[in-house]
Amino acid sequence: MTSMNEKEKEPDQIIKETKKLLEFYEKQHVNSQEKELKKKSIGFILKSTLEMIKEDKEQFIDKIVDSVNSYVETSQLENSIMEQSIGDLNSKVNIEKKRKEMFIENVHIHRQSVLSVLFDSDINMKTLYYIILCIFFWLCMWVAADNYEHIGNIFDKPFWANNLRNWDKTVTMWFAMFFSSFFIVFYVQLINAVTLRFQKVFYIPFIAIYSVFQVTFLLVFVIIGLQYNKSFVLGVTHSCEMVRFIMKNHAYFRDKILYGLKEYNMKYVNFTDQADFDVDTACLPEIKIYSLFKEFQLYLYFLFCPSVIYRDKYPKTSVCRYDLAFAHFFNFVLCVIFFYILVRFICIPYFNSTKVEDYYDIYCFIFDFLRFAIPATSFLIVGFFMFLHSWLNFWAEIMQHGDRRFYQEWWNSTNFEEYYRKWNMVVHEWLYYYVFNDVIRLSRKRLNKTIAKGIVFLISVILHELILWLAMGFFFPVLTIFFGGLGFLFSFVKPSDKRFNVIFWLKLFLGSSMLCVLYLREYNMRMSVFNSIDLVEWWHTFVPRTILMHLSQYKTIIQEMNKNISK
């Protein structure tokens, strides 16, 4: 009887020992965030435990240790690789610190988006999605009924015709940007041929020509966009694609020159003062310069894949799941319709019902600010789901792109520094690896992290303002003040307590509402008031109309216009 009881207790004891062993390994694991791999590994080991319960205990424990070691050695982690025993852990930590100081490049691995994992693994999230979907369908039916009552058609043709006019010119401009980008492939081939021909090459002229190409590309398509884009939708499309091509061009040129040319490769790596650390294989991406035809193929895939970090090879899925791609595209279309509802029933009535004279009243501004807090934040959240989740996952599935970490759980952020990192991982990685790291490394650490961070914010602000300028048709630098000013200062305040998540969301509501109200007021002033008022001074063209309205010469004209309208 005693031996039988011991055998019955043996599985529980071994499972406890297994859990302790796994916990020990996890504590030693440096900077690991791959929770899914750990869960799968634990389940696999415990399952093996129950299957091998009849074997000798010592032999069984050895097998558990071997399987745990195998898991640790084969897990694909970006920042830490367990290659040594637990006794060498301290030296491994030092190596990891050195790798960070060496500015290790981004590593692409097979990863799913956070929401995709939640939808697949948590039935509650899937149910919540279905509930929101049902609410949205009822909302669409209400909108269709309202359109039929007021314009005699469930489909608002005037709205879409107005926002999609000159679409053919936008498509033509996109193809012009697309084919112009291939200049960079020819240019890299030329530099490679010169490098192979001569022993010593002076690279500054080549970099200068590349800079001229990028600036010319930007100026040409900004001027064309300001001339032909007469709607917000096409303006956003044109400006976002222009910025995307510029980022892709830089990523391809930078990585091909720094890692494709053997002569320049080690010079760039050795910019740091870590001569005692072997960086041959640990820190460098495997990038080469191939024949022109193959480079065209690589660059063509890079242009359409949802990543702005260039690599010759990316992790790919075995098949394209067209049903999943259709689901992502379906979500994208639903988000576009939701944006239409917000604009049609919240923003446009704001223009029709609000008198300009109310802009002089501070209480009206407070009321508008409170009223637009939820719609403005809805713009932000739905825009995130539309682009960063649905659109990028759609293209990832079509291109069989395996690395789908386009964002992280930003909604759990407790500070804006964490939010900036997790909100848009695609752009964040480009700014981090190609701007932040390069500024520090190319300056040989004469420029510190704070200066590099300021340059990152400056470039990010310029790109965002450029997109809004082309989309709205005028320059109104409110985003620069909020994001480049207050946002930059808030990035140095890093509370970690989870209770600060409430304060973070309050700030997000505050900032989104302020931006929405200010941009709507400026747009309304330009379209409904100042389009019929001659500017007094030439430099008033560059001044926001919501500021000009407070000048005496314009204030008198606006008051007279309001009196005539009231009569």
The larger pLDDT score, comparing residue 10 to residue 8, is at 10
- pLDDT on residue 415: 86
pLDDT tier for residue 156 given thresholds of 50, 70 and 90 = confident
Q: What percentage of the chain reaches a pLDDT higher than 90?
A: 20
Q: What's the predicted TM-score (pTM) here? A: 0.76
Q: What DSSP designation does 78 have?
A: S
347, 520 Cβ separation under 8 angstroms: yes
- pLDDT on residue 154: 81
- pLDDT on residue 1: 46
181, 303 Cβ separation under 8 angstroms: yes
- Using one digit for the tens of pLDDT, what is the confidence trace for 248-281? 999 999 988 888 876 555 555 545 444 433 444 4
Q: Mean pLDDT across the chain, nearest whole number?
A: 78
Q: Quick check: 77 pLDDT over 60?
A: no
Residue 290: exposure state from Cβ atoms within 10 A (0-12, 13-18, ≥19): middle
Residues 6+ apart with CB under 8 A from 55: 63
532, 464 Cβ separation under 8 angstroms: no
- Using one digit for the tens of pLDDT, what is the confidence trace for 306-360? 999 999 889 988 888 999 999 999 999 999 999 988 888 888 887 765 667 778 8
Kindly list the domain boundaries of the chain, sorted by start residue. Answer: 2-82, 156-314
- pLDDT on residue 563: 65
For every residue of 470-491, DSSP letters joined together read: HHHSS--THHIIIIIIIIHHHT
For 111, the 3-state DSSP assignment is strand
pLDDT tier for residue 96 given thresholds of 50, 70 and 90 = very low
Characterize 122-136 residue by residue with b for buried, 16 or more Cβ atoms within 10 angstroms of its Cβ, and e for exposed: eeeeeeeeeeeeeee
β-sheet bridge partners, residue 111 = 403
Q: Which of 271-285, 446-460, 491-505 has the lowest mean pLDDT?
A: 271-285
The strand ranges marked E within 240-377 are none
Q: How far apart are the first and last CA of the chain?
A: 103
- pLDDT on residue 146: 84
Backbone torsions φ then ψ of 316, nearest 5 degrees = -125, 150
The strand ranges marked E within 390-465 are none
For 403, the 3-state DSSP assignment is strand
Interatomic CA distance for residues 362 and 366, integer angstroms? 6
- pLDDT on residue 394: 94
217, 248 Cβ separation under 8 angstroms: no
- pLDDT on residue 194: 85
445: left (phi over 0), alpha (psi -120 to 50) or beta: left
pLDDT mean over 52-65: 53
- pLDDT on residue 281: 45
- Using one digit for the tens of pLDDT, what is the confidence trace for 522-564? 888 888 777 777 777 778 788 888 888 888 777 777 777 766 6
pLDDT mean over 452-462: 89
Characterize 201-239 residue by residue with b for buried, 16 or more Cβ atoms within 10 angstroms of its Cβ, and e for exposed: eebeebeeebeebbeebeeebbebbeebbebbbbbbbbb
- pLDDT on residue 179: 94
- pLDDT on residue 185: 93
Count CA atoms closer than 13 A to 115's CA, side-chain side: 18
pLDDT mean over 408-427: 89
- Using one digit for the tens of pLDDT, what is the confidence trace for 283-307? 567 888 888 999 999 999 999 999 9
- pLDDT on residue 102: 52
The larger pLDDT score, comparing residue 331 to residue 65, is at 331
Interatomic CA distance for residues 38 and 26, integer angstroms? 8
Q: Quick check: 467 pLDDT over 80?
A: yes
pLDDT tier for residue 99 given thresholds of 50, 70 and 90 = very low
Most confident of 65-79, 260-274, 421-435: 421-435
Q: Which residue has the tokens 């053997």?
A: 262
pLDDT tier for residue 84 given thresholds of 50, 70 and 90 = very low
Nearest to 521 by CA among 401, 398, 392, 351: 351
369, 513 Cβ separation under 8 angstroms: yes
